[in-house]
Amino acid sequence: MGDRLNGGTRLTDQKKTRVVVDIYGQQYSIVGTESSSHIRLVASIVDDKMREISAKNPTLDTSKLAVLTAVNIVHEYIKLKDEYERLLRKMNKEKDDDSDD
Amino acid sequence: MGDRLNGGTRLTDQKKTRVVVDIYGQQYSIVGTESSSHIRLVASIVDDKMREISAKNPTLDTSKLAVLTAVNIVHEYIKLKDEYERLLRKMNKEKDDDSDD
């Protein structure tokens, strides 16, 4: 997924979708190979998260707010990745245990 | 994880860590219950991602750049979540198949 500046160049043969979304009162033209509903979902999650952080910290400017939103999302991503890897190890361990029978 | 404005209020009894990090040339005081190394890792991922997107789109201002960074990270998060849920279903299916034997 890229922003509007990537829209003019077709890097692959995959069909690209261009969707204009509103995030925190600003319009963004998002280009990606995903469906428009996926792009809208992603934008609405970012918008919600920015409003949630802004409500707790009303003095933050948009730029800092967006950076702290990104920080929060990366934090959630790493937690999920750890959980994913834990599940993968558990699954592989169960397979090993089964093959030992 | 919150920003510095959450630092003054202790909402839980969990020990809080406060770390000053540099993201895209701006300092942020991040407060969280995680280790300082985790907070630094999160900040460095956001910084890297912002620089990567900025390199592709040199005309973007910091605010839009940060929003598009958040958009990219949410997109990665949803992909990982789908993959995690796929793995979970696979694991549960294998358990069901085993119990059918």
A16 in B contact zone (CB under 8 Å): no
**Residues of A with Cβ-Cβ distance to B26 under 8 angstroms:** 63-64, 67
- Which of B83, B27, B94 has its CA nearest to residue A85? B83
- Which of A63, A49, A70 has its CA nearest to residue B62? A63
> Which of A8-12, A42-46, B22-26, B28-32 is the least confident region?
A8-12
Cβ–Cβ under 8 Å, residues A71 and B66: no
For the packed helices A62-100 and A36-56, what is the interaxial angle rounded to 10 degrees? Answer: 120
**Residues of A with Cβ-Cβ distance to B43 under 8 angstroms:** 71
pLDDT digits (tens, 9 = 90+) for B76-93: 999 999 999 999 999 888
B36 in A contact zone (CB under 8 Å): no
pTM of the model: 0.80
Cβ–Cβ under 8 Å, residues A23 and A5: no
Q: Chain B residue with minimal CA distance to A85?
A: B84
Interacting residues of B62 by C-beta distance below 8 A, sequence separation 6+:
A63, B24, B26
Q: Which residue has the higher pLDDT, A101 or B60?
A: B60
- Which of A40, A75, A46 has its CA nearest to residue B17? A75
Q: Shortest Cα distance from A91 to chain B (angstroms)? A: 7
Q: Chain B residue with minimal CA distance to A64?
A: B63
Give me the number of domains chain B comprises. 1
A24 in B contact zone (CB under 8 Å): yes
DSSP secondary structure string for all residues of B51-100: HHHHHH-TT--HHHHHHHHHHHHHHHHHHHHHHHHHHHHHHHHHHHHHHH
What stretches in chain A show pLDDT beneath 70?
Answer: 1-13, 101
What range defines the domain where residue B95 resides? 5-99
Phi then psi for residue A18, to 5 deg, are -115, 125
Residue spans of alpha helices (H) in A21-61:
36-56
Contact call for A5 and B59, based on CB within 8 A? yes
Cβ–Cβ under 8 Å, residues B42 and A78: yes
* Largest interatomic CA distance in chain B: 62
For the residues B58-69, what does the mean pLDDT come to? Answer: 93
- Which of A57, A82, A63, A76 has its CA nearest to residue B1? A76
Q: How confident is the model at residue B16 (pLDDT cuts 50, 70, 90)?
A: confident
ipTM: 0.80
Q: How confident is the model at residue B101 (pLDDT cuts 50, 70, 90)?
A: low
Q: How confident is the model at residue B12 (pLDDT cuts 50, 70, 90)?
A: low
Indicate the helix (H) or strand (E) that contains A18.
strand A17-23
